[in-house]
Amino acid sequence: MNTDTLDKMRRMRLLGMHRAFKTSLETGGSASLTADEMIAMLVDSEWDDRHNRAIERSLRSARFRYKASVEALEYQGERGLDKNQLHRLAEGEFIKGHENLLITGPTGTGKSFVASAIGHQACILGYRVQYTNATRLFAQLKMAKADGSAIRELMRIERQDLFILDDFGMQPFDSQSRASLLEIIEDRHGKRSTIITSQLPVKQWHEVIGEKTVADAIMDRIVHQSQRIELKGESLRRKWNKKLADITD
């Protein structure tokens, strides 16, 4: 009977339940459980298994630049990274409130890592997250317009609870990229959250976007209901390279 039960669990894809029941049979742990306790244990195991697999799928789908976590963030020195703010962001309240997060600072100060860490935590909380590099995104959208798939891609971005646009403003926007950015920001404004990272301070974004009327519309929606992190200090990459050189000398 137990063999048949295990086989049915496996065929119904009740993998957490299957694993827990098989383990209890092998260890004899089920003997001390009442029927209610056994059912609760099996259901909890299935719940945990499905939850963990959902997180794994979400992390793969997000395509983060770094395998980052909030626990791995460094707050020492004068980085401009506030631990209390980061922990509040990690709780996901800004996503519930449809707020944006703007992360700026010189190259190498950890902007992408911080954004990836917050996105990773959002996946754990059950939110749909997408990470993308700004230059790559707008190049892909140009190609998508050519083959007619741009609308589908823009709709996919719109559905994300948290959209991370990394390395914003690395090059000036042309008219097509500007129009795509406006559409993305307009679709998400007041409904979803967006994290934008940039080497440029926010006050320079208007100039990079270009075309005053469109830039005004985009900036008004980006800055409205947004939080900011302004990273400072020495490049972390340069710092770690120095440490590595000292060790190898």
Q: Name the residue with tokens 């992408």.
A: 112
Quick check: helix, strand or coil at residue 59? helix
Token pair listed for 186: 């307009």
Token pair listed for 65: 């630049």
pLDDT tens figures, 85-136: 999 999 999 999 999 999 999 988 899 999 999 999 999 999 999 999 999 9
Position 144, amino acid: A
Q: How far apart are CA 82 and CA 22, in angstroms?
A: 47
Q: Name the residue with tokens 């700026």.
A: 104
- Residue 22's contacts (CB-CB under 8 Å, 6 or more residues apart) are 6
Q: Which domains occur in the chain, in start order?
A: 2-61 (no CATH), 63-239 (3.40.50.300)
pLDDT tens figures, 134-143: 999 999 999 9
Beta strands of 137-240 (E only): which ranges? 162-166, 193-198, 226-230
pLDDT tens figures, 151-193: 899 999 999 999 999 999 988 899 999 999 999 999 999 999 9
Position 168, amino acid: F
| β partners of residue 197 | 103
The answer on pLDDT for 63 being more than 90 is: no
Quick check: helix, strand or coil at residue 62? helix
- Predicted local confidence at residue 236, as pLDDT: 61
pLDDT winner (highest mean) among 37-41, 84-88, 170-174, 236-240: 84-88
Tell me the pTM.
0.79
Give the sign of the dihedral formed by CA 145, CA 149, CA 155, CA 158.
negative
DSSP class of residue 13? Answer: T
- Predicted local confidence at residue 248, as pLDDT: 43
Mean pLDDT computed over every residue of the chain: 88
